[in-house]
Amino acid sequence: MFLSRFSAGRLAALLAVPALAVAVSACGGHGTKSTPAKAARSFDLHALAARAFGPNAKARSGRIDGDIALRLHGAHGFGAPFSLTTNGPFRYRKGAALPDYRIDMGVRDNGVQLTSAGGRSYVSVGSTGYEVPGGVRARLVRSSSRGANGLTRTLAQFGITIRRWETHKHVAGTQRMDGVEVVHVKTGVNVGRVLRDANTLTGLLSSLGIARATGLPRELSPAARRVLVRSVATASGSSWIGISDGVLREAALTIRFAIAPADRAAVGGMSGGTVTATMKITDVGRPQRIVAPHPLGSYADFQLGLSALGDARSGG
């Protein structure tokens, strides 16, 4: 019965989630309406980062909307451009082990949803939710602790730690974004750290059984990461931080790879490609209604269905 609910479309949705990890863990988001940037003026970049990525009660709630685009050459299954989305609300209650959130990850009209509400965590496929075991939630709590406010704690549990990735920062100007004056900071990107953080998400997917079902490795191996790091042609990023409240409003990332023939076997035959990602945070500080999914199914059935998919993939 479970397998009949695990339709081909929903399987395609699960295939989208691991691609987030390969695509730098998802610095997710869509474009934004903004006015042209004004000339750069003096800002203390250390102080800006301390407010955006450190303790900040203003970042207690909001909505995350993201988009990732992959153009990979020579990689099986990625002959055409591939686009992924992430979106959903979050809120942080003081003293909570995890923020509450309802994050949809998917491709086209299919997706998987991850929810944290009332001190419990869930994974949903279609209209049915499954409460995850305490060990999986504990993994999320450990990853989330790397963040220091509601937004960064929500992102960190999926391996998104933007402050760790940024290098060579400089102020590009100021502008108004959705009615808020922001500082635009241009940065370099530490690709090695991005790829290491991707393993936070692949580890989560492994703990849920999704990795085996989709053929995703449990981690990006050190050898593969070394190949990708030395194959970087260009890597650049940007962040936009509210001047008055210090809340990150948007982030963007572009990485281009050109892989030497001798290195391609270590990355599945890929000869090169481009990863672009943007993330926008809206509804900052506004109340968010987040509840547990309903109806709930048996997590054992969820795992049984994933195991059957993994057996079919491996021929077992």
Q: What is the pLDDT of residue 188?
A: 96
Residue 23 has pLDDT above 80, yes or no: no
Strand residue runs (E) in 144-284: 166-177, 180-189, 232-242, 248-258, 272-282
Looking at the chain, the whole-number percentage of residues with pLDDT higher than 90 is: 56
Q: How far apart are CA 1 and CA 183, in angstroms?
A: 53
Instruction: Look at residue 32 in the predicted model and tell me its pLDDT.
Output: 47
Give the per-residue pLDDT at 68: 81
Q: Name residue 257's beta-bridge partners.
A: 232, 273
Residue 204's pLDDT band (boundaries 50, 70, 90)?
confident
List, in order, residues 6 or more apart from 279 with CB less than 8 Å away: 26, 27, 28, 29, 64, 65, 66, 160, 250, 251, 252
Nearest to 150 by CA among 87, 198, 194, 94: 94
- Please, are residues 130 and 302 in contact by the beta-carbon 8 Å criterion? yes
Tokens of 15: 């295939």
Q: Is 30 left (phi over 0), alpha (psi -120 to 50) or beta?
A: beta
Quick one: which H or E segment has residue 69?
strand 61-73
Question: For the chain, what's the residue count?
Answer: 316
pLDDT(27) > 60: no
Q: Over 60: is that where the pLDDT of 34 sits?
A: no
pLDDT value of residue 50: 95
Task: Examine the pLDDT at 31 and tell me if it is beyond 50.
Answer: no
Dihedral, CA of residue 135, residue 136, residue 141 and residue 147, to nearest 10:
150
Give the separation between CA 260 and CA 294, rounded to whole angstroms.
49
Q: Is the pLDDT of residue 84 over 60?
A: yes
Model pLDDT, residue 215 = 57
Report pLDDT digits (tens) over 228-279: 999 999 999 999 999 999 999 999 999 999 999 999 998 888 899 998 989 9
Band (79; pLDDT cuts 50, 70, 90): low
Q: What is the mean pLDDT of residues 52-75?
A: 91
pLDDT greater than 60 at residue 18? no
How far is residue 289 from each of residues 90, 246, 249, 310, measured CA to CA in Å? 9, 24, 21, 35
Quickly state the pLDDT bin for 42 (edges 50, 70, 90): confident
Q: Does the pLDDT at position 7 exceed 80?
A: no
At residue 88, does pLDDT exceed 70? yes
Q: Which pLDDT score is estimated for 268? A: 83
**This prediction's pTM:** 0.84
pLDDT digits (tens, 9 = 90+) for 115-164: 999 999 999 988 899 999 999 999 999 999 999 999 999 999 988 899 99
User: How does residue 107 score in pLDDT terms, banded at 50, 70 and 90?
Assistant: low
Q: For position 40, what pLDDT does the model report? A: 64
Q: Which one-letter amino acid corresponds to residue 228?
A: L
pLDDT at 8 over 70: no
Question: 110-117 and 120-125 as β-strands: parallel, antiparallel, unpaired?
Answer: antiparallel
